[in-house]
Amino acid sequence: MRKSKAETAETRKRIVNVASQVFKCNGIHAAGVSEIMAAAGLTHGGFYRHFESKEQLVAEACAVSMDELVGAAEIAVEGGDETFLKHVEDFLSAEYRDDHLGGSPLVAMGSELARASEATRRAATLGYEGLIELMAKRCHLRGPELAKTDAIFTLSSMIGAVTMSRIVDDPELSHLILESTRTRLTELSACPKAKRSKAKAA
């Protein structure tokens, strides 16, 4: 029986969502099409009814993962300084470090994304630019250029810290990387308005 367009679209969506998790968990190159299709409850033969190649799936899975990351950041930013700082702290936590199914594709697949197709790198770039824009809006009183550079620094520190905390084989060093970055960014992430308010209160 031929599937409806809605059913086909839903199946494609399921494959992409499963692939985004498998890629983050096992890596792009290590994850095969058969593994992804099996995880989605489908046969390998059905893959090419939805995608032209694995590279196309990688690009779409990366876009979905980045959209989720931007969405979470948007909620945190809209929640105000306290909610945003909690978001930063959660990102720089042992729980986030150890979450290989969720989390940031920039952390989980960073080195592979650098060697990926143009479409995949474009998806990663658009997501990263979206994060920069969101974070820069928090501190618009600093001016657009300073706000943007602050956002880039914060994002790069967060991504780099979690990446290194996963790489090192010393548990104490891994914890220290997260803790020191979390402490410094928490101090730096308060917007000028909040800082001035604290100064007046003192």
* CA separation for the pair 66, 131 (Å, rounded): 9
* CA separation for the pair 37, 14 (Å, rounded): 10
pLDDT band at 103 (very low <50, low <70, confident <90, very high): confident
Q: One-letter amino acid identity for 45? A: G
Say if 140 falls within a structural domain.
yes
Residues 6+ apart with CB under 8 A from 170: none
| Total domain count, the chain | 1
pLDDT of residue 202: 43
Say if 37 falls within a structural domain.
no
Considering the entire predicted model, what is its pTM? 0.84
pLDDT of residue 131: 95
Say if 112 falls within a structural domain.
yes
pLDDT of residue 110: 87
Domain containing residue 90: 59-201
Say if 137 falls within a structural domain.
yes
Q: Is the dihedral of CA 34, 40, 43, 47 positive or negative?
A: negative
Say if 31 falls within a structural domain.
no
CATH number at residue 110: 1.10.357.10
Between 57 and 2, whose confidence is greater?
57
pLDDT of residue 196: 41
Say if 43 falls within a structural domain.
no
pLDDT of residue 191: 55
* Residue 194 reports pLDDT greater than 70: no
**Span 38-97, pLDDT tens digits:** 999 999 889 999 999 999 999 999 999 999 999 999 999 999 889 999 999 999 999 999
Q: One-letter amino acid identity for 41? A: G
Say if 192 falls within a structural domain.
yes
**Span 139-193, pLDDT tens digits:** 766 788 999 999 999 999 999 999 999 999 999 999 999 999 999 998 876 554 5
Say if 187 falls within a structural domain.
yes
